[in-house]
Every structure is written in C-alpha cells, then in structure tokens.
C-alpha cells in the first residue's frame, strides 16, 4: 500500500509580509516564540501546515496586547507633562471645563491659583538649562505633596502652574496659596540657591464668568503679585 505523500505547505508572499510586520512589531519575544513552535514540534504528528497558522495567530495576539499597552501609555503621556510628571495644560483645561460646569450647575465654589517661579529666566541663565529643569521638577513635586484629593494641579506652560480648588472660597484658596508660597521659600533646592514663587488667586463668578475670564483674572492677580515685588500672594474676587 502506497504511503500518501504529504502536501508541501509554503507561505505565500502576503503571509510572509504579514509575518514580517508582526515580527518587527514584537521583536525578540516573537522570534523566540516562533522558534520554539517550529523547532520543538514533532513533524510526524504536527505538520508545518498546522504550526504556521497557530504561530501567526499567537503573534497576532501578542501584537494586539502590545498595541493596547502602547495605547494606554500614549493616553497617559497625552495628559502628563513629560518633564515634571504632573498633569499638563490639555488635561487641566478639560478639568477646568468640567469643574466650571459643575460649579455653575450646583452652586458650588471654585477657586483657582495661578503661580510661577520668580525670575526663572535668570535661574536659567545663571545655573543653566538643566538646573532650571530640576527647579521645575522640584517645585512640581513640592506642590503635588500639598494637594488635597480634590485639587487639580497642572503645569500651565513654561514656569507657570495652575491649581484648581473645588469647593473652596477666596479666603480658603488664599490661605492655601500662602502655605504654598512659604513651602517653596523655605525649601532647600538642589540646583539653585534661592527659589520663590508669586501667586494669583481668584474664585469663579458663576453668573458672569467664562473659563477664559476666570483664568484670566487669576493670571491678572499673578501679574499684580509680580509687580508688587514677587514672592507674594494677590487675591482678586
């Protein structure tokens, strides 16, 4: 009796191309997996025609898992400041919109503190760009430690930061800003001798304020703090 000849299985150009893309995406992990499936199979029991679809399916599964991890990582990076590790302006703007709506809808107070590092350009010039970056990181870390769970801290841009305080009055936010100012003034920075910040504080006017006018007033208070000599808190109702 004649033994039936096995059909030779070859991978077409499309399959090879797809497999090449998967291997490029997954790197060494995929190569090891594919090698194990091909080398340790028993040819008489598991023909190559069965191994290859299983291998490609496994690689597709690994690729999907990797894409999901990368997507989550990109989502985090999209709302996080790459230098300081705190939230960025994009995320803060989205939260500002939500908190402004909630404040107007339910009649709850909302305060904002805008603050930035005094004479930061001088710090950059005297100590260098890298040292100035370290100052930004330390200020962010120091202020993050002062947050309540409900507070929203973000790097607004350059050396400026914003802190939103839901359910907080002007007096309460001013007291918070005073503590923040003191904490920075007393902190022993590793890359600069003296670092201070100026603070502008305001509260949302539910009947008349837009997000822009609300944050614009916080920025105006910050400008006044700088004009009055820096390293101080100015509040505008």
- Strands of 152-157's sheet in order across: 152-157, 160-166, 110-117, 197-203, 233-236
Q: Is the pLDDT of residue 41 over 50?
A: no
Q: What's the whole-number mean pLDDT along residues 41-70?
A: 54
pLDDT score, position 27:
55
Q: Which domains does the chain have, with CATH numbers?
A: 13-78 (no CATH), 89-236 (3.30.70.270)
Catalytic residue numbers? 159
* Cβ atoms of residues 160 and 115 within 8 Å: yes
pLDDT score, position 75:
47
User: pLDDT tens-digit profile of 10-39?
Assistant: 444 545 445 555 555 555 555 555 555 555
The model carries a pTM of 0.71
User: pLDDT tens-digit profile of 97-143?
Assistant: 999 999 999 999 999 999 999 999 999 999 999 999 999 999 999 99
Which range has the worst mean pLDDT, 22-36, 50-64, 79-93, 180-194? Answer: 22-36
């Amino acid at each position: 009796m004649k033994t039936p000849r096995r059909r030779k299985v070859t991978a077409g150009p499309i399959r090879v191309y797809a497999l090449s893309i998967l291997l490029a995406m997954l790197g060494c992990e995929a190569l090891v997996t594919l090698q194990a499936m091909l080398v340790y199979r028993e040819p008489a029991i598991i023909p190559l025609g069965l191994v290859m679809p299983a291998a490609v399916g496994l690689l597709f599964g690994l690729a999907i898992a990797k894409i999901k991890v990368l997507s989550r990582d990109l989502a985090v990076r999209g709302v996080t400041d790459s230098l300081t590790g705190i939230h960025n302006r994009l995320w803060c703007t989205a939260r500002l919109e939500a908190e402004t709506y909630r404040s107007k809808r339910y009649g709850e107070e909302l305060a904002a503190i805008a603050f930035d590092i005094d004479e930061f350009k001088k710090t950059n010039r005297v100590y260098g760009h890298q040292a100035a970056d370290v100052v930004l990181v330390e200020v962010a870390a120091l202020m993050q430690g002062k947050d309540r769970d409900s507070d929203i801290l973000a790097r607004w841009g350059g050396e400026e930061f914003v802190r939103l305080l839901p359910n907080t009055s002007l007096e309460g936010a001013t007291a918070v800003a005073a503590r923040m100012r003191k904490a920075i003034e007393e902190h022993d920075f590793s890359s600069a001798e003296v670092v201070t910040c100026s603070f502008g504080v305001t509260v949302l006017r539910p009947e008349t304020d837009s997000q822009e006018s609300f944050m614009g007033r916080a920025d105006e208070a910050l400008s006044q703090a700088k004009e009055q000599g820096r390293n101080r808190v100015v509040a505008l109702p």
